[in-house]
Amino acid sequence: DTGVSQDPRHKITKRGQNVTFRCDPISEHNRLYWYRQTLGQGPEFLTYFQNEAQLEKSRLLSDRFSAERPKGSFSTLEIQRTEQGDSAMYLCASSLSAGENTEAFFGQGTRLTVV
């Protein structure tokens, strides 16, 4: 297992278009997280899944954003009608369990540029 994988690494899209990102977590990790990071800031939490169930969504996740994890393995994050303010790095992370005593493993992220 090579770690958390995200695809694509870079995406340039025109304002108003829809985009979808994919995250493949480490095998058997039941927790999967999505974060967004803008330049000079720390990552901001968007949402997380326990297996296929989406258990928490940040207020940052507007109606244009939707995330799925249909079989409890890979996850997708879709942004509809993209805006320039959506330009950011989107990070995915996974972990073995929900406890405070566990570490999360992050992917390298998908950098979105909306023009």
Partner 1 sequence: DAKTTQPNSMESNEEEPVHLPCNHSTISGTDYIHWYRQLPSQGPEYVIHGLTSNVNNRMASLAIAEDRKSSTLILHRATLRDAAVYYCILRGGNKLVFGAGTILRVKS
Chain residues binding partner 1 by CB under 8 A are 4, 31, 33, 35, 40-45, 48, 55-56, 91, 93, 98, 100-101, 103-109
Smallest distance from partner 1 to CB 64, Å? 21
**66 phi and psi, to 5 degrees?**
-145, 140
- Neighbouring C-beta atoms of residue 41, cutoff 10 Å: 10
C-beta of 35 vs 65, nearer to partner 1: 35
Q: Which helix (H) or strand (E) holds 99?
A: none
**Residue 18 or 102: which CB sits closer to partner 1?**
102
In angstroms, the CA 38 to CA 111 distance is: 10
Q: Among residues 30 and 80, whose Cβ is nearest to partner 1?
A: 30
**From the CB of 33, what's the least distance to partner 1, in Å?**
6
Q: Which is nearer to partner 1, 42 or 70 (CB)?
A: 42
Q: Return d(Cα 115, Cα 26) in angstroms, integer.
A: 33
The minimum distance between CB 16 and partner 1, in angstroms, equals: 28
Read off the tokens for 69: 């994890």
How many whole angstroms from its chain centre is CA 47?
Answer: 8
